[in-house]
Structure 1
Amino acid sequence: MIQNTTLLPRQLGDSHIRLLRIYKSVVENGGFANAEVDLNISKPAISQAISELESLLAMRLCNRGRAGFSVTEQGQQVYLSTLQLLASLETFRSQINGINTELTGELNIGITDNMVTVPQMRITEALRRLKQQAPKVVINISMIPPDEVESGILDGHLHIGIVPHLRSIAGLTYQSLYQERSLLYCANNHPLFDKDLSIISDQALAGYDAVVPTYPQSLEIKQQQAKLNATATSTDREGIAFLILTGRFIGFLPTHFAERWVKEDKMRAVDEHNRYFATKFCAITRKGARSNLILEAYLSALS
């Protein structure tokens, strides 16, 4: 007969929550070294905390050594339970905010890369208004891919996300923000730069190397990308800009993001009347989530 043993005390204190937060960071950063920056504590201190947590739980959470870092099966289960616990704590804090007239707590936001140069500045303006209304609110921004933003909203560790609206997920609500126009660009040291760029055939375009994104795209965007001779990829738009500026690649960039280089005559749009697409961006929140006055205040400012 297997006898269950109570490993944790009946009341979890701040010290236990701290150990779990450290463990969460180690897992998400793929090891102790990368977690140092995130946690702002030394690697030996992280190692000691993980050893203390393993001793407390009487189980090995992760393997570390010459073979590299990996999470054990039990460690993965503890990680998932930790996410639930921390999300519950934030939910409790949000519920208290619903009672307390003074807004305190956190707003966790996930944003797709390179949105800060969007001319409308609605995200920035909404953050300014929120901080003015609720100076004690702590704002945490994560710059992550759209699919990670979506999963973060669904599992509760993010309150709101800003993503391109490429699909609709049943558990999320969507608030339209703005459209982003993208054009095909080449750099000033590319063979196309000094040519007539008002129009170019698909056949001629295929003669030049191009960089395309690896993140999800709408059908319209995929149709435009399919005409390119893709010999490089990037996980984000900054990476695309890096390769365009080498003068060896062409690629699509949002006009607001490319504007700085266009003004400096370092980039030019290629056949802009035919080589373009629009991307719709929206704010997403979890459908059916409990009332959260901080989130409501931010959504109000955003709209």
Structure 2
Amino acid sequence: MAVDLNGYAVYAKVVELGGFTAAADALGLSKSMVSRHVATLEDELGVRLLNRTTRRISVTEAGGVVFERAQRIVAEAAEAANEATCVEGAVRGLLRVNAPMTFGIRQLGPVMPEFLARYPDLNVDLTLNDRRVDLIEEGFDVSLRVSALTDSSLIARQLAPVERHIVGAPGYFEKHGVPKSPTDLAGHDFLLYTLLARPTHLEMTHEDGRREQVEVKGRMFCNNADAMLETIAAGAGLALLPDFIGCDHMKSRAFVRVLEDWSMPPLTLHVLYPHSRHLPAKVRAFVDFAVEKFGPGKAPWGAEYEMFTF
């Protein structure tokens, strides 16, 4: 059976505005045409949608159910039209972005003014948190993640590598000594990031290929690495920090890297977005911008601090 979707749209507008005349004015139709659309829809469904009097209309029980569905039809049609326009190249609408808390504050936040200036018709809803979000379930268009990837339902574009270093304040090493091997780390206090699967477990690989595992102990546990920086700088313990968080402190020598001939399993910054037959222009614009700012060899964090090691 053919379905006249126009009838649903007209009916939704009648209920929304509370009358045929108001709906006719809003839709640019005659009052008789609006009435005909509603009557045709009632005939197709075999139910009365509205009770009519000379002064007012009221929605029947069946009419209430149909109104909810009609609203969805109208909203989805509008969204489809907007996405079709975006696919054709207009970067506009609302872009919902998710990123890790510290990365968002330290790296993404500073470049967002440029992104907004580049696309003046685009609105951005930026959500920062350190938990793993479900982009599709939670309605995000795109996400930045620093981790190993396991979600095959998403498209991932590889950006800059993220190295992790064991660092501490110079004062800490003057007081407690400098570890010379991974096994020495067991005798030091750590500030531990609790969102790691095993915060106290370190797997390290020497540049000659040797591997060692060590369990470390901590006096402070925290779910955000940025919140630990002042405590590290005060000499309270060592920490395993990604370079995009600790780079400024290492460049200024507030933090010193140790065991530089050993490395942790590498991480990579990725930009992720759901599979789509037609990638909206707003998502493509953000992905291209992320590659421009954080692609391999372009990230603002780097190796300028390498000389400041023990």
Task: Give the TM-score category using the shorter length.
Answer: 0.5 to 0.7
Partner Cα distance (2:238, 2:78) in 1: 45
**Letter matched to residue 208 of structure 1:** H
- Corresponding position: 1:128 with 2:93: no
Unaligned runs of 5+ in 1: 1-8, 15-83
Aligned-partner SS, 2:195: coil
Question: How far has the Cα of 1:164 moved from its partner?
Answer: 1.8
- Corresponding position: 1:174 with 2:156: yes
Summarize the Cα distance change of 1:226–1:123 in structure 2 as closer, same or farther, 3 Å threshold.
farther
- The equivalent position to 1:227 in structure 2, one of 206, 215, 231, is 215
2:125 matched residue in structure 1: 140
Question: How far has the Cα of 1:212 moved from its partner?
Answer: 1.9
- Corresponding position: 1:215 with 2:195: yes
Identity %: 11
Question: How far has the Cα of 1:232 moved from its partner?
Answer: 2.7
2:255 matched residue in structure 1: 267
Aligned-partner SS, 2:262: coil
Partner Cα distance (2:268, 2:256) in 1: 23
Question: How far has the Cα of 1:131 moved from its partner?
Answer: 3.7
1:248 matched residue in structure 2: 236
Summarize the Cα distance change of 1:102–1:262 in structure 2 as closer, same or farther, 3 Å threshold.
closer
Deviations 1:120-169 (A, max 9, x none): x799668735642x211112211111402xx1x12252110000231321
Partner Cα distance (1:240, 1:291) in 2: 39
Summarize the Cα distance change of 1:108–1:93 in structure 2 as closer, same or farther, 3 Å threshold.
farther
1:37 matched residue in structure 2: none
- Corresponding position: 1:281 with 2:269: yes
Summarize the Cα distance change of 1:250–1:231 in structure 2 as closer, same or farther, 3 Å threshold.
same
- The equivalent position to 2:96 in structure 1, one of 90, 99, 108, is 108
- Corresponding position: 1:200 with 2:180: yes
Summarize the Cα distance change of 1:194–1:287 in structure 2 as closer, same or farther, 3 Å threshold.
same
Say whether the 8 Å CA contact 1:103–1:294 is kept in structure 2. Answer: yes
Question: How far has the Cα of 1:261 moved from its partner?
Answer: 2.3
The structure having more radius of gyration, on CA atoms, is 2
Say whether the 8 Å CA contact 2:203–2:264 is kept in structure 1. Answer: no
Partner Cα distance (1:116, 1:138) in 2: 17
Summarize the Cα distance change of 1:226–1:239 in structure 2 as closer, same or farther, 3 Å threshold.
farther
Question: How far has the Cα of 1:99 moved from its partner?
Answer: 6.9
In the alignment of these two chains, the number of paired residues is: 216
Deviations 1:27-50 (A, max 9, x none): xxxxxxxxxxxxxxxxxxxxxxxx
Aligned-partner SS, 1:128: helix
Further displaced range: 178-187 or 268-277: 268-277
1:98 matched residue in structure 2: 86
Partner Cα distance (1:98, 1:202) in 2: 52
Partner Cα distance (2:146, 2:265) in 1: 13
1:302 matched residue in structure 2: 290
Partner Cα distance (1:215, 1:93) in 2: 41
Partner Cα distance (2:143, 2:111) in 1: 16
Partner Cα distance (1:179, 1:298) in 2: 19
Aligned-partner SS, 1:285: strand
Say whether the 8 Å CA contact 2:182–2:214 is kept in structure 1. Answer: no
Partner Cα distance (1:259, 1:164) in 2: 16
Partner Cα distance (2:248, 2:16) in 1: 51
Say whether the 8 Å CA contact 1:186–1:193 is kept in structure 2. Answer: no
Question: How far has the Cα of 1:91 moved from its partner?
Answer: 4.6
Q: How large is the Cα RMSD of the aligned pairs?
A: 3.9
Aligned-partner SS, 2:285: helix
Question: How far has the Cα of 1:282 moved from its partner?
Answer: 0.5
**Letter matched to residue 241 of structure 1:** L
TM-score calculated relative to the size of structure 2: 0.56
Say whether the 8 Å CA contact 2:146–2:162 is kept in structure 1. Answer: no
Aligned-partner SS, 2:268: strand
Partner Cα distance (1:254, 1:126) in 2: 22
